[in-house]
Amino acid sequence: MCRWLAYSGSPLTLHQLIYEPEHSLIDQSLHARLGPHTTNGDGFGVGWYPETGAPVLYRSRQPIWNDRNLRELSPHVRSGLFFAHIRASTGAPVQETNCHPFRHGKWLWMHNGQITGFPLVKREMIVAIDPSLYPSIEGSTDTEVFFFLALSFGLEHDPPAAIERAVGFIERACGERGIPDPVRMSVAVGDGEGVWAFRYSSSGVPPSLFYSTKTETLRAQYPSNMLMQALSDETRLVVSEPLGELEGVWNEVPPSSYGMVGRGQDEIRPFAPRAT
């Protein structure tokens, strides 16, 4: 289990995003509230989109709360589109190549949850990955293999459909091996323009997922909060757990659904695995 946040909207600094909130990602790395792990100290990663070109990654295997370089750089990294993730390993080694977000071309991907029995189905997933994509896999996590499976199923053309196919594939492969409750996930994926966020579990309650309320509502509700006054109407945060207690800010994404932010639309739709 891990914690993550995705930000899309008015440009701000990485420092404003991950250090300044009340219950920031730094605080969550030491004291997460929602989920089975209170400590998320098995590495971390941040990805952002510069003005032009591919997203930039900064990943480390040490706990985020101890990274002095990140703290130094963060006031100078400015973007309108960030992915940030703190890891609590469910088994794969703690190394940079296992830190989220993962990147392929202009796409970023990160995940909280797990594929149960991953060692048993990894080979079948690997074989289903497009051979031209396969050499780009660097680490050993379920998350990265899941990402490349979704890419092989058309992520770059239709993210929700590709992920529905990938989850359908995994559930079928696990089902054939008698593995119960195979997929638990909150996933964020983006291409530099939009961010899609998914919440799903094969059975039971999926990992927590929240998105921030429309900033126009917030501006009316909190007229003296300077940060909110400055953010554009379309600015959105999607998070594993709320960054503070401010009332009216955070809305839970329902189970088995997904949303997309960043391209003017703002809608929650149903998510259902598809057979392949």
Q: CB-wise, 149 or 253, nearer to a second copy?
A: 149
In whole angstroms, the minimum distance from the beta carbon of 197 to a second copy comes to: 24
Choice between 31 and 269, CB closer to a second copy: 31
- Cβ at position 248, least distance to a second copy in Å: 30
Estimate to the nearest angstrom the gap between the alpha carbon of 173 and the chain centroid: 24
In a 13 Å sphere around the CA of 117, the CA atoms on its Cβ side amount to: 18
Which residue number, 81 or 249, has a Cβ lying nearer to a second copy?
81
Q: Please report, as ranges, the residues that interact with a second copy according to CB under 8 A.
A: 30-31, 38-39, 41-42, 50, 56-63, 65-66, 68-69, 72-73, 76, 89, 93-97, 119-120, 122-123, 126-127, 131, 134-135, 137-140
CB of 168 to a second copy, least distance (A): 22
To a second copy, the closest distance from the beta carbon of 105 in angstroms equals 15
Question: What's the maximum distance between 2 C-alpha atoms anywhere in the chain?
Answer: 57
Whichever of 173 and 249 has its CB closer to a second copy, that residue is: 173
Shortest CA distance to 75 belongs to which of 3, 148, 12? 12
Q: 176 Cβ partners below 8 Å, 6+ apart?
A: none
Q: How far is the CB of 2 from a second copy (least distance, A)?
A: 15
Q: Which is nearer to a second copy, 139 or 160 (CB)?
A: 139
